[in-house]
Amino acid sequence: MAVRDWLCSALSPLAKRDCRRLALIEAVRSEVTSKAGEAADPHDLEREIDAQLQARITRSGRTSVSRAVSDLVKADLLRRHYQGYRVDHPNRGAQREAVYTITEEARRILSREGR
């Protein structure tokens, strides 16, 4: 599992009370219910709603993490490169995952915080 996906999953419960999250839940519920029709099994509908909701939350969360990382790169606390930059890997084309390395300055800051 990519760190970005893990972080999104770990942080997603924090936003459950957010008004945007509540609106998203209602929008997904409405879409799934309208596509399924009245004859659909309620348990299947709830599973589909949960799956669609999690997919949207993960997509949105991945974008948010990417923005935050971009800010850390701009602040010169992280370096970003992609799989295959330093070591070759089987997928040289698109869909490569980003690799982040903390800078020496960030390492020093973090080591001071631990004291």
Q: Inter-axis angle of helices 42-74 and 19-36, to 10 degrees?
A: 140
Q: CB of 71 within 8 A of CB of 94? A: no
pTM over 0.75: no
The full set of domain ranges for the chain reads 1-7+15-74, 77-115
Encoded amino acid at 52, one letter: Q
Positions of E strands within the chain: 78-82, 98-102
Query: Does the pLDDT value for residue 88 go beyond 60?
Result: no
Work out the pLDDT band at 74, boundaries 50, 70, 90. Answer: very high
CA distance 50 to 53: 5
